[in-house]
Chain A
Amino acid sequence: MIRFRACLVASITVAATAAGAAPLSAQAPAAPAPAEYGRAMKLDTQVFESANKQIRLEYPKRDWEIVPRAGATMIPGVTSPIVSLVHRRREAAVVIEQTKLHQPLALDDITDLFGQLEVDSVRERQPQASDVKAKLVEAGGRRFVIVTYARQGVSGPERVRQYSIPAGADLFRLTCVAAASHFARYEPIFAHVAASFTVTAGGTQ
C-alpha cells in the first residue's frame, strides 16, 4: 500500500510537469528534522578530505573505516564513487558519489522537482526499492534533497537515506545504508556526516 502511494505521487508529479499544467511557484523548502541532518554533539569524529581537496566530511573515529574509491569524474552525467565509509561490523555504510551535472544548478534552481528526479533516479538504479520518498530541505546555506527508501539487502531488509546535494556543476550523493533493524542506531551518525559534508568550489581536480 505504501509503495503504491509513492508510485502514485510520483506519477502525478511527473504527469503534471510533463503536461505543463499551471505551474505554481516553488514552495520554500522545509528545514530537515534533527535526526535527518545535524551534527551529533557527543560524537567523536575524524575528518576525511578527498585527494583533490574538493570535499571534506567528518565521520566517527570508532568502528568506521575508509574505503577509498576512484577519483572524481569530469564527464557530465557520469557518476563515480569518491569514498565509502563502512562500519566495522558491516551493519552500516555511507557511500559518497559525485555526478557531473550537464548544467550547474544555483540554489534557487533546486525545487521539489529535483527530489522527484532523484526518486526517478533511485527507481532507475534500484528497481527493487520501495517506499521511496523525497524531501527538499534547506539547511546550512544549501538546498538539497533527502530521499529515503527500503530495499532488500544481502543480509536482509535495509533502509536507505540518500542526501542529494547539488553544488554548482556537481551533484554529490551521500547514500547512507543500514539494516532496517539497526537504522535508528546509526541515524545520528548519518546526520552528522551529511551536516559536516562540505564542498570546496575551487578544489583541485
Chain B
Amino acid sequence: MIRDADGSERTVELRDGVMRIGRAAGNEIVIGDASKGVSRTHAELHIDGSRCTIVDLHSQNGTWVNALRVQRAEVRPDAEIAIGVFRLRLQGAPAVAATGRPAPRAQPATIIAPKPASVAGPPPPLPSPPPSPPPSMPAPQLSPRGTISDLPLMAAGQGVTSPVPMPAIPQPSAPQAAAVQKPKRSSLPFIYGGIGAVAMIALAVALFSIPQKPLGRPAAPGATPPAPAAAAPAAQAQPQPAAPASTTPPPALPVAPPAPTTDGAARSATRPASRPSTPPPPATPAARSSVPPAPAPPAATRSSQPPSASRGRASAATPSAAVRTTAENLPVPRKPGESLQDWQTRSSALQARYAFAKVALDRGDYSAAAGGFAAILLEEPGFLDTPQLLVKAREGLRSAAAEAIESGNKLDASGDWVNALKKYDQAREIDRAVPGLEEAIKRVRDKMRVAGTDALRRARQFDALGRFADALTEYEKAAQWLSPEDPNQQIARGRADQLKARQR
C-alpha cells in the first residue's frame, strides 16, 4: 500500500524479480514526490522467493533501511525503508519462504507519506540526510550483532531516544505487529542489540557533553577551585548551574571574574552549562585590560533592549559579539547590593557607550568621542582605557579646532568672511576654549558689519539712480554680511526681493 503525500493510499504487490522504485513513470513502484527527494530511478527491490533485497541506484538522497543508509541491504518484513520522505514497509511474511517457492503476492509494500510539519515528533531527516552517519548513530558494522535487523528495536522507540533526527516510524498496527512477530526467531539478538545501541548512544551523548565544562572557563594552572562568595546571592552560589528549575535570577551568562576577587570567584562558581554553543574564549586578565571589547551598536539601540535580548542577538551575530556579552569581559566592578541582571545591564550600557565613543574617535568625531568618554567616566571612573582615550579625544578636539581656526584665518584674509565665520563657528563647536577664537570671530563679524553697511550704502546709491542690477548685487551682499539682528539686513533683504520681483 502506498500512501502519497496527498494522503491517497495504494498497494503494490511485489512479484518475484526486480522491481524498480523511483519517481519516473517507468518504474514498477512509482513514488511521486514533488520535492524531488526521490530520484527518478531510486532503488531496486530484488525479490527472490522469500528474500527481498533493496539496492540503491546511486540516488541523490540515498536509500535508508531502518534509519541506516544502505547501498544494498536485505529487507525483512519488519524493516522500514525510507526513500525520500516516504516510508515503505513490507506487509505480511513470506509464507513459503522456507520452501523456496516464490510468493510474490504475499508481500505487499506500504509506502507512507511524511507527517505534516505541524505534527510533533521527530523531524524527518530526509530528503537531505547526512552523507555519512552522525557520530551518535551507530554504524551497522559496529553493531554488536552485526546485522541491520537489530536496529528496528531502537528506531521503534523501545526506550532509546536518538539525539539525531531519525526517520519517523509509525507504531505498527495490530495486524502489522502480528506480522512482525510472525517470524519465529529468538528475541535475544534484539535485546543485545538494543543494549549495545543504548550504550553507544550514551557514549556519544557523553562525548558531546564533555566540551561544555572545559570550554566554559579555563582553569588557571594551580588555581584552587573557586568558592562561592559569602555576599553572592544564594542562587549564584549554586555550583550546579545546569539545574533549569531555578529561574530567578536567570544566570543567562557565564560569569567570570575580571580580577581575582572574592566576588569574581563567586561569579566563576555560578557558570551555567545552559549555553554550550557559545563558550567564551579563554581570557586572561592582561588580555582583558589591553584589548577593549569589540565595537557595539550605539547605545540608543542597545540600551533599549533587555539584556537577554541583546545577549541573544550578540551571541547569534558574531564571535566578537559573543565575547562582548560575556561577563568575563566586563571590567565594571559590581556595586554592593547590585543584582546580577542590573550589573550586566549597566555593564552592557557602559560598553555600548564606550564602543560608540571609540567609533566616533576613530572617525575623527572628537566632540562626540570626548562627550562619550566623559560621560562614561562620570559613571564609572577608570573604565578600561577611557581616561587615556578621553585625553586623546580632547587633543584631537584642540587640533581640529586649531585647523578650523587656521582655515578661517585664510578665508578671512581672502575676504570670504561668511565661510571664515563658519570655520570659526565650527572651531567653537569643537572646542570653545581655543585661544583667540572669540577675537577672531569678533574681528570677522566687525568686518562683515562694516562691509554690509557699505554694501547697503552702495546698493541704495545704485538703487536711487536706477542701476538696479548693481543695486541688487549690493543688497544681497548686505543681506549676507549683516547680522540678522541688524535691522539693515531686513531692509536689504526686502529691497533685494523687490528688485528680484521687478526683474522677473
Task: Count A-B contacts at CB 8 Å.
Answer: 62
Query: CB distance B451 to A23 under 8 Å?
Result: yes
Query: CB distance B454 to A23 under 8 Å?
Result: yes
Neighbour of B465 across the interface among A17, A20, A26, A117, CB < 8 A: A117
Task: Say yes or no: is A22 at the interface (Cβ < 8 Å to chain B).
Answer: yes
Task: Say yes or no: is A94 at the interface (Cβ < 8 Å to chain B).
Answer: no
Task: Say yes or no: is B497 at the interface (Cβ < 8 Å to chain A).
Answer: no
Query: CB distance A26 to B464 under 8 Å?
Result: no
Q: Write the chain A residue with the least CB distance to B414.
A: A22
Neighbour of B454 across the interface among A26, A101, A103, CB < 8 A: A26
Closest-CB distance, B494 to chain A (whole angstroms):
12
Query: CB distance B457 to A102 under 8 Å?
Result: no
Query: CB distance A166 to B464 under 8 Å?
Result: yes
**Binary contact track B434-473/A, C-beta < 8 Å → 1, others 0:** 0000000000000000110111011011111111101001
Residues of B close to A104: CB separation below 8 A = 464
Query: CB distance A101 to B450 under 8 Å?
Result: no
Task: Say yes or no: is B134 at the interface (Cβ < 8 Å to chain A).
Answer: no
Task: Say yes or no: is A18 at the interface (Cβ < 8 Å to chain B).
Answer: yes
Task: Say yes or no: is B477 at the interface (Cβ < 8 Å to chain A).
Answer: yes
Identify the stretch in A62-70, A84-92, A106-114 within 8 Å (CB) of chain B at 4 or more residues: A106-114
Neighbour of A22 across the interface among B415, B468, B473, CB < 8 A: B415
**Binary contact track A17-34/B, C-beta < 8 Å → 1, others 0:** 110111111100000000
Neighbour of B477 across the interface among A20, A76, A111, CB < 8 A: A20
Residues of A close to B454: CB separation below 8 A = 23-26, 111
Residues of A close to B455: CB separation below 8 A = 23
Residues of A close to B450: CB separation below 8 A = 23, 25
Residues of A close to B457: CB separation below 8 A = 26, 108-111, 113
Query: CB distance A102 to B473 under 8 Å?
Result: no
Query: CB distance A171 to B464 under 8 Å?
Result: yes
User: How far does the alpha carbon of A17 sit from the alpha carbon of B474 in the complex, in Å?
Assistant: 9
**A:3-52 near B, CB below 8 Å:** 17-18, 20-26
Task: Say yes or no: is A153 at the interface (Cβ < 8 Å to chain B).
Answer: no
Task: Say yes or no: is A139 at the interface (Cβ < 8 Å to chain B).
Answer: no
Query: CB distance B464 to A105 under 8 Å?
Result: yes
Closest-CB distance, B85 to chain A (whole angstroms):
82
Residues of A close to B460: CB separation below 8 A = 103, 105, 109
Q: Write the chain B residue with the least CB distance to A108.
A: B457
Query: CB distance B461 to A113 under 8 Å?
Result: yes
Task: Say yes or no: is A77 at the interface (Cβ < 8 Å to chain B).
Answer: yes
Query: CB distance A111 to B465 under 8 Å?
Result: no
Contact of A113 with B458 at beta-carbon distance under 8 Å, contacts A22-B415, A23-B451 already known: yes
Residues of B close to A77: CB separation below 8 A = 465-466
Contact of A17 with B464 at beta-carbon distance under 8 Å, contacts A22-B451, A23-B451, A25-B450 already known: no
User: How far does the alpha carbon of A108 sit from the alpha carbon of B450 in the complex, in Å?
Assistant: 13
Query: CB distance B461 to A111 under 8 Å?
Result: yes
User: How far does the alpha carbon of A103 sit from the alpha carbon of B462 in the complex, in Å?
Assistant: 9
Query: CB distance A103 to B473 under 8 Å?
Result: no
Query: CB distance B473 to A117 under 8 Å?
Result: no
Contact of A121 with B415 at beta-carbon distance under 8 Å, contacts A20-B477, A23-B454, A25-B450 already known: no
Residues of A close to B495: CB separation below 8 A = 103
Query: CB distance A117 to B461 under 8 Å?
Result: yes
User: How far does the alpha carbon of A11 sit from the alpha carbon of B467 in the complex, in Å?
Assistant: 17
Closest-CB distance, A30 to chain B (whole angstroms):
18
Residues in A lying within 8 Å of B, measured CB to CB: 17-18, 20-26, 76-77, 101-105, 108-111, 113-114, 117, 121, 166, 171
Between-chain CB contacts (< 8 Å), 16 pairs: A18-B473, A24-B454, A102-B465, A102-B468, A103-B460, A103-B463, A103-B495, A105-B460, A105-B461, A105-B464, A109-B460, A110-B461, A113-B458, A114-B461, A117-B465, A171-B464
Q: Which 5 A-B pairs have the closest CB atoms?
A: A101-B464, A22-B415, A103-B463, A23-B454, A103-B464
Sample of 11 further A-B pairs with CB below 8 A, known A17-B458, A111-B458, A117-B465: A18-B473, A20-B473, A24-B454, A25-B450, A26-B457, A102-B463, A103-B464, A110-B461, A111-B457, A113-B458, A171-B465
